[in-house]
Structure 1
Amino acid sequence: MGLFQHKFRPQFNMNGKQFYYSKSSYNNFSERSIEVPVAKDFFNKYKEKKILEVGNVFKNYNNEKVTWDVIDKFEVSPNVLNIDLMDYEPVNKYDAIVSVSTIEHIGQTTEPTGTYGENTLDKDREAPLKAIIKIYNLLKLEGEAFITVPYGKLVDFKWLIQFNKEYLYLLFAKFGLPKEDVNFIFYKKTDMELMGNPPVQLWEQVNMEQLSDTKFDSPFPCANGIVFIFIKRTKSKDIILNINQPETNLFYNDPDIIPNFYFSKFTHLHSFDSSGWIQIPKQGLISMYPEIQLDNGEYEITIEIEVKGNKRVYFDLSVNNKSFLNYEFAAEKKVKTKFNLSESKNIVSINLYSGTDQEIRGEFRVKQISLAKIIN
């Protein structure tokens, strides 16, 4: 059982075909759990052909010797060409191109740990779309590509773009990708164990609309929705790509300030099991989030907590050392509310407490605590 009490299965379906989740311990708490098995299937289809990988990912999940071409602008590794995809002009085109969890980073700024990304403030929000067009142009006629990117609410994380429908469809309306050459398949992460190596996950194939409110890093780490982009090139003429085209005026959501409970900066004073259950102490502080500074404006907070054992869990959000929002949780309850901060600088803290009943034992788990600023 996971955080949302689903029964886990060892495999997932894609249009009726079964794939087994990746069991690699490498970065497998993320969407790689389903990306890698599909990528392997794609590789096997073309293993005797000329293949390009954009982003040095697949070698971490494959015991075979790397016999395909790999480009990665930042990761220095044997047999990897360190070049920007947009500058890559090979002599011969490719039968197949694969790119896993890479395209969304192209043209964006440095990843939070500083591991990779452009060390510049000059970024292009539509660079990932231009990269997909570049991949199309690098394919031979009848060549195929497999690309994965995060999908849900349109968000600019500075170091990556999470796609949505309006953004994705710019591929056709603005950049000229032939619709008949593309197939989209969407997945949503519906549950996950919170411990284990790798933790067990559950992904479901869904339609585009079912991901419209999906957030990155909430309630589970990394992408909670993804789109598989399958391309088969049927046009012999390359798409003319103007990389200096001005950006389309789209609304980009701000990322959550607090993205999730179990994998973020919350301090857990009591341990939790693989399904997220935390023992409720007799009385006092259970979990706390480090103080954060927020500017003025409108915010939205979502809290969903499940409680067992007739106990109470209390949520408190304090602003400038004064209690600002309070909620009591028993059984199962979800709260979603908006609030305004009027001061130019606000010190905000979030804490969870147990009640005063010292005789009754219980457990609780947090299905979601997320805080985001609303941009009008």
Structure 2
Amino acid sequence: MVNVGMVQIEAERVAARTKKMLREDGIRATSSFFALQAWEHATLPLLRRRRADERFSYDGADLRYDYSFYGQTWRNERTIEIAIARHFLADAPGRILEVGNVLSHYGMRGHDVLDRYERGLPGVLNEDVLTFNPDSRYDTIVSISTLEHVRCDEEEKDPRGSTKALRNLRRLLAPGGRMLVTVPIDWHPGLDEDIAAGRFTLGRDTFYRRDSRYDWSRTDRDEALENRYGSPYEAANALLVTTTH
């Protein structure tokens, strides 16, 4: 069954991207890009069948790649992030907080969501992650490709914003709680510097590199940091997944 809400959201994303590309790249480049997009959407069921047996490793498990219509996960790092989030939350204890409203688009709902900018949505707390201070702590915290934007894409600038956000979230974690955070490599220099220095970490780091358009494998920190965002493949070409022990 088609999820009408997800189709509407994706249509709005496409419309916004179309306007931006027409303004910046012109009609020919925009037309070619969306012709390819239309073909990929039409053939997505074939891609799912063709790659049904493909896996990547995380936390001792072999996980299926995610191929979702929303966010076109087969084109970017979401293909492993969503799979990892499902695995992590499968047995998540107690009270759950998500930072950044991502997982609801992939069927994972029923938890608190902290998102400063997505207003008017039920259950979404529009507060700043740097100063968020709830009355009680959370047993599980998860954030998918969100902390790299803190004080980088916002009006207020701070090269250490992502790391300060991570520090505040650790404070909000209940004793014995679990946290998972993912961020792309090469999004902004301040975050990469903190990753290289071991300042942006929850204690257990897993790095991934993109081996092809669809395939990802584990790598080490130094090799991950050599990758560039948007090259040679669209979006992230390396990813950090950090968790508590």
- Structure 1 residue aligned with 2:64: 20
Q: 1:71 aligns with which of 98, 108, 114?
A: 114
CA gap of 1:212–1:168, structure 2 versus 1, over 3 A, is: closer
1:188 touches 1:211 (CA, 8 Å); kept in 2? yes
Query: Is 1:84 matched up with 2:143?
Result: no
TM-score normalized by the length of structure 1 = 0.48
1:170 shift after superposition: 4.7
Gaps of 5+ in 1: 1-6, 110-117, 193-200, 233-376
- Structure 2 residue aligned with 1:215: 228
Partner amino acid, structure 1, of 2:91? K
- Structure 1 residue aligned with 2:145: 101
Once the two structures are superposed, residues 88-135 of structure 1 have per-residue CA deviations (whole angstroms, 9 ceiling, x without a partner) of 1111101110000100001123xxxxxxxx2x3x40011000011111
1:154 shift after superposition: 7.3
Q: 1:131 aligns with which of 165, 170, 174?
A: 165
Q: 2:217 aligns with which of 193, 204, 219?
A: 204
CA distance in 2, matches of 1:51, 1:154: 27
Q: 1:45 aligns with which of 85, 91, 114?
A: 91
Gaps of 5+ in 2: 1-49
TM-score normalized by the length of structure 2 = 0.72
2:58 touches 2:84 (CA, 8 Å); kept in 1? no
CA distance in 2, matches of 1:45, 1:75: 27
CA distance in 1, matches of 2:85, 2:225: 25
CA distance in 2, matches of 1:130, 1:36: 24
* Partner-residue secondary structure (3-state), 2:104: helix
1:51 touches 1:95 (CA, 8 Å); kept in 2? yes
CA distance in 2, matches of 1:140, 1:78: 25
1:169 shift after superposition: 5.1
- Give the alignment's Cα RMSD to 1 decimal: 2.2
1:211 shift after superposition: 1.8
Counting helix residues as a fraction of each chain, which structure ranks higher?
2
* Partner-residue secondary structure (3-state), 1:67: coil
- Structure 2 residue aligned with 1:189: 210
Once the two structures are superposed, residues 22-54 of structure 1 have per-residue CA deviations (whole angstroms, 9 ceiling, x without a partner) of 1211111221100011111111111x5100000
CA distance in 2, matches of 1:169, 1:73: 28
Partner amino acid, structure 2, of 1:167? D
CA distance in 1, matches of 2:224, 2:77: 15
CA distance in 2, matches of 1:168, 1:68: 28
CA gap of 1:84–1:130, structure 2 versus 1, over 3 A, is: same
1:15 shift after superposition: 4.7
* Partner-residue secondary structure (3-state), 2:94: coil
Tell me the percent identity: 30
1:61 shift after superposition: 0.7
- Structure 2 residue aligned with 1:35: 81
1:212 shift after superposition: 3.1
2:100 touches 2:143 (CA, 8 Å); kept in 1? yes
Displaced runs of 4 or more, over 2 A: 7-10, 153-156, 169-172
